[in-house]
Amino acid sequence: MNDDNRSGRNDTYTLTDNRHGQQVELPVAAGTDGYQVIDIRGLYDRTGLLTYDPGFTSTCSCESDISFIDGKQGILRYRGYDVEDLVARADYMDVCYLLLFGDLPNAEHKQIFRKEITYHTMLHEQIYYFFRGFRRDSHPMAVLCGVVGALSAFYHDALDITSPAHRTLASYRLIAKMPTIAAAAYRFSIGHPPVYPDNSLTFGENVLHMMFSEPTEDYHIDPAMTRALERFLIVHADHEQGTSTSTVRMTGSSGANPFACIAAGVASLWGPAHGGANEAGMVMLDQIGSKDRIPEFLARAKDPNDPFRLMGFGHRVYQSIDPRSRIMRDTCHELLEELGVHDDPYLDLALELERRALEDEYFAEKKLYPNMNFYSGIILRAMGFPRSMFTALFAVARTVGWVAHWNEMIEDPTRKISRPRQLYTGESKRPVKPVQERI
């Protein structure tokens, strides 16, 4: 019988092994919210069998109390707070503190935390040589992967992952330096000098300042842009075991240093099926070009022989509206209004594409809805970010989620190195022939 009492229940799941006429009882556990899980940890020892689940469609890899998704109802919560509530009543620094420490900060803790983060916004001067070493036309995500990984060469004083103090310091450094690195990657790509952070600004304001200000001119930070960017940062801050977060956890499970782990997360995020979808979505809107071509592209998206997919549509977990996409869509409308843009061709096209896709049987049947990348690109474009920076900004926002999960993973007493097995389908044993006898 199951003695796992986390849920206050003693449920078990019985597997019948028809090969040996045996029955195996497995414990069933439940979290505070969400689904129940069959705990298969003892399965191999008891049956000699492994489970097979490519893409982890039915697998929970860990326990976590950081964020929660209900994919059927379209709910996302950070530490129990609905993301909509956080967007309305908190700022990104609140959310960073919440994800790292478990609850929202009071005024005093917030001030101390803000100071801790801003203290680390600058980069070691020598890091700027890395930027000079990249080709001018490098994609900012390529630069980000390299430079974030390189941070471990600069911070030997905080690489002891068993030390909570080291872990906190590394976490602060990563959250604080990520915008500086991302903005510098952009500045080098356009041949402009990097802009140093200004610690009198908020996190979001600093992003805008380092991206868009020039040493020769005053730069006015538009509050409408800061508001939109804050929302972008909050909704992108965490998303339970998404691909990049799982990558960070898996990389860290071997004891790798935090900078290397987050560089792995950045690399994973870049893929178009994950964070790269915000950039790919804009490329797609360009490809479609006008409303009259939407049917052609919907037909392509539905064609099993065509690799084309509607970028910014679909999600492994959400089988209803992604709550973040609603926030991004509303933010998009508000921002364009505030910027005095009354007719944005990208928004126009995106709205029509969304409308037609949602009316289409294929998308309804497969429960494919817009995810947050569908609208976030339009917001970032309206703010003046080049599309090559879209995924880098996602990485800036998600760094806090990555480090929160990395810390949780290190502190988990049941932590083991992540080491999946495989279903081997290659050759069975065969002898090596002398080279003359090989065909």
Binding site for ligand ACO (CB under 6 A): 55, 242, 273-275, 277, 301, 309-316, 366, 368, 371, 373
- Nearer of residues 316 and 387 to ligand ACO, judged by Cβ: 316
DSSP string, 296-334: HHHHHHH-TT-----TTB--SS-SS--HHHHHHHHHHHH
Instruction: State in angstroms the smallest separation of the CB of 304 from ligand ACO.
Output: 6
Q: Please name the amino acid found at residue 307.
A: P
Instruction: State in angstroms the smallest separation of the CB of 336 from ligand ACO.
Output: 22
Instruction: State in angstroms the smallest separation of the CB of 1 from ligand ACO.
Output: 35
Give all strands of the β-sheet with 67-70 in edge-to-edge order.
Answer: 67-70, 75-78, 81-82
Instruction: State in angstroms the smallest separation of the CB of 375 from ligand ACO.
Output: 12
Instruction: State in angstroms the smallest separation of the CB of 372 from ligand ACO.
Output: 6
- Cα 407 to Cα 414: distance, rounded to the nearest angstrom: 14
- Nearer of residues 206 and 331 to ligand ACO, judged by Cβ: 331
- Nearer of residues 195 and 392 to ligand ACO, judged by Cβ: 392
- Quick check: 203 and 431 in contact, CB under 8 A? no
**Neighbouring C-alpha atoms within 13 Å toward the C-beta of 161:** 19
Residue 336 sits at φ, ψ, to 5 deg, of -60, -40
How many Å from the N-terminal Cα to the C-terminal Cα in the chain? Answer: 57
- Cα 250 to Cα 255: distance, rounded to the nearest angstrom: 10
Instruction: State in angstroms the smallest separation of the CB of 275 from ligand ACO.
Output: 6
Q: Shortest Cβ contact with ligand ACO: which residue? A: 314
Which residues are CB-neighbours of 404 under 8 A, at least 6 positions away? Answer: 66, 99, 100, 171, 238
- Cα 145 to Cα 196: distance, rounded to the nearest angstrom: 20
**Residue spans of alpha helices (H) in 81-124:** 83-89, 92-101, 107-119
- Nearer of residues 265 and 314 to ligand ACO, judged by Cβ: 314
Instruction: State in angstroms the smallest separation of the CB of 205 from ligand ACO.
Output: 25
- Nearer of residues 219 and 272 to ligand ACO, judged by Cβ: 272
Instruction: State in angstroms the smallest separation of the CB of 243 from ligand ACO.
Output: 7
What Å distances lie between residue 2 and 22, 58, 267, CA to CA?
18, 21, 40
- Cα 403 to Cα 406: distance, rounded to the nearest angstrom: 5
- Nearer of residues 151 and 301 to ligand ACO, judged by Cβ: 301
- Nearer of residues 301 and 328 to ligand ACO, judged by Cβ: 301
298-328 in b/e form (b: 16+ CB < 10 A) is: beebbeeeeeebbbbbbbebbbebbbbbbbb
Query: For tokens 């129940």, what's the residue?
Result: 36
- Nearer of residues 247 and 373 to ligand ACO, judged by Cβ: 373
Instruction: State in angstroms the smallest separation of the CB of 59 from ligand ACO.
Output: 13
- Nearer of residues 130 and 394 to ligand ACO, judged by Cβ: 394
SS3 label, residue 8 = coil
